[in-house]
Chain A
Amino acid sequence: NAGVTQTPKFRILKIGQSMTLQCTQDMNHNYMYWYRQDPGMGLKLIYYSVGAGITDKGEVPNGYNVSRSTTEDFPLRLELAAPSQTSVYFCASRYYGQSTGELFFGEGSRLTVL
């Protein structure tokens, strides 16, 4: 049981390039989330999904896209990368019936846009 796995762990992009951050979970969780974390700013929700085929915007969705074709995978797409997207990105998941509301996080993907 690997939990939530994110790839890549580190990436440097040039302005205007595009890339996909991969996230997969093996806990059969319905809900999945993408957050970004900037220094002193906590975690900001980018997009979330309540199940395969269903996605919705969070607090800071501009410049990103997501898809959810399977329960396990929730990739985050960055189009036309900008320096403002330099951040640490965390994927998280939770089970619908979980009473604690606990989120299970991946180890993060550090992205630098130059």
Chain B
Amino acid sequence: QKEVEQDPGPLSVPEGAIVSLNCTYSNSAFQYFMWYRQYSRKGPELLMYTYSSGNKEDGRFTAQVDKSSKYISLFIRDSQPSDSATYLCAMSVNTGGFKTIFGAGTRLFVKA
């Protein structure tokens, strides 16, 4: 079983739709939960970060963490063509070099 599972998609939605991206994980030691956004031929960039269970909102983006179910989500409201990218969930613990484990990444296409 992979430590982090993420559906690679692709996911295609019309402009203005609400997008839901999800990951599950198996390692209960994970403390930090992140979402990175990666545009084509670029390096990933941090989009959202949460430390504990619950919700965190930043503009059109909401990150949710449910540690009891080992499940994290990213919601994008009013999606825009500029949101078209690969979204990678990532998790880490603050030990052993703070290694970060990534999901496979979900390719999102937002159609105008």
Contacts and interface: CB of A to CB of B under 8 A. Distances in A.
B88 A42 contact: yes
Contacts of A53: none
A-side interface mostly: strand
B44 A43 contact: yes
Contacts of A94: 98
Given A40-B104, A41-B104, A101-B34, A31 B43 contact: no
Contacts of A58: 99
Contacts of A50: 97
A110 B39 CA distance: 15
Interface in A31-60: 31, 33, 35, 40-45, 48-50, 56, 58
Contact of A101 (B32, B44, B104): B32
Contact of B97 (A56, A105, A108): A56
B16 interface: no
Most buried by A among B36, B43, B92: B43
Given A48-B99, A108-B41, A42 B46 contact: no
A102 B51 CA distance: 12
A40 B46 contact: no
A2 to B, nearest CB: 13
A100 interface: yes
Nearest to B33: A101
Most buried by A among B45, B92, B97: B97
Interface of A: 4, 31, 33, 35, 40-45, 48-50, 56, 58, 90, 92, 94, 96, 100-103, 105-108
